[in-house]
Chain A
Amino acid sequence: MPDTTRSLSSGWGRVLVFVYGVFAVAATGRSLVQLGTDADRAPLAYSLSLVAAVIYLVATTCLLLGGRPAWVAACIACSIELAGVLSVGVLSYAATDLFPDKTVWSHFGQGYGYLPLVLPFAGLAWLRAHRPEPSRASYS
């Protein structure tokens, strides 16, 4: 039974926060450069880069904050991330004309060592193991 009183960002959660943080910076940087220099070339891919960046930022922040609302928000962010990487991964193989330039999630995150594919699973597993107990704190 995992210790649910520890915060989301301690223990192995620290590793998760670090990786999410790196991806938040990487995706934000990538989308800003893409949208700033050549927005018309691949608007869909570049918008998705920006969406990915926001998701990673939300996930990182929520893991750092801890607590029940942040836990729920982190679950939503990781679920959207999972759906995103799976759908963009499939589409980038199936409908190549939609993606003239790459996003973080293209080809299931191939350009990033497939970490974008592994990350949402790791995040959801960590969140599941560290589910906050409902309103226990208000009685103490």
Chain B
Amino acid sequence: MEVWLQVLVYAAAGVALVGTVILLVRDRPPGDPMYLVLAVVELLLLLQLVLGSIALATTSRDVSGVLFVSYLVGIALALPVGAFWSLAERTRAGTAVLALAVLTVIALELRLTTIWEGAGA
């Protein structure tokens, strides 16, 4: 798997996490800059879905294919679902949902690395 892409995912998700936490503390609803950052994270995750699938098809590693792809897909779904779910709640709770969605992405990305390295289920 592409290391540079994973570094970018962690970096962008880190910025998004700090951003949502700042919004949470200041009790402000997320604005366009926040959604822009989240869009960047999502684009990286979609790119990771494509490049990750290609890497899986070409690797000689003993990677559990079903598990790996389900994580690639799941990680790309977390932010859209979280953003959609937070939209109807423009309060602190809605921002908390966004922050948790970003945390989910980071947690899944960590697991994705372990799966790629062949730790299995």
* Chain A residue at minimal CB-CB distance from B92: A12
Please determine whether A33 and B67 come into contact, CB atoms closer than 8 angstroms.
Answer: yes
B107 touches A113 (CB 8 A): yes
- Bound-state CA distance A25–B121 (Å) is 15
- Indicate if the CB atoms of A30 and B121 lie closer than 8 Å: yes
A12-B97 Cα distance, complex, nearest whole Å = 9
Residues of B within 8 A of A114 (CB): none
A29: chain B residues within 8 A (beta carbon):
70, 74
- CB atoms of A14 and B89 under 8 A apart: yes
Min CB distance B101 to A, Å, is 7
Within 8 A of B (CB), among A31-65: 33-34, 37-38
Across the interface, do B121 and A33 meet the contact criterion of CB distance under 8 Å?
yes
Shortest distance in angstroms between B2's beta carbon and chain A's nearest beta carbon?
Answer: 24
Residues of chain A within 8 A of B104, CB atoms compared: 22
The interface residues of chain A, by DSSP majority, are classed as helix
Taking beta carbons and an 8 Å cutoff, which residues of B are in contact with A? Answer: 64, 66-67, 70, 74, 78, 81-82, 85-86, 88-89, 91, 93-94, 96-97, 100-101, 104, 107, 121
Q: Would you give the 0/1 interface string for A1-15, flagging 1 where the beta carbon is closer than 8 Å to chain B?
A: 000000000111111
Known: A33-B121, A37-B121. A11 touches B70 (CB 8 A): no
- Count chain A residues whose beta carbon lies closer than 8 angstroms to a beta carbon of B: 19
A18 at the interface (CB under 8 A from B): yes
User: Contacts of A11 on B, CB cut-off 8 Å?
Assistant: 89, 91, 93
A-side contacts of B88, CB under 8 Å: 14
Please list the residues of chain A having a beta carbon within 8 angstroms of any beta carbon in chain B.
Answer: 10-15, 17-19, 21-22, 25, 29-30, 33-34, 37-38, 113
Q: Are B91 and A15 within 8 A (Cβ)? A: no
Interchain CB contact under 8 A, B121 and A18:
no
5 additional contacts (CB under 8 A) given A18-B82, A22-B104: A12-B96, A14-B93, A14-B97, A21-B81, A33-B66
- Complex partner residue of A15 from B70, B74, B93, CB under 8 angstroms: B93
Contacts of A113 in B (CB 8 A): 107
Least CB distance, B116 to chain A, in whole angstroms: 16
Known: A18-B100, A30-B121. A10 touches B89 (CB 8 A): yes
Are B85 and A14 within 8 A (Cβ)? yes
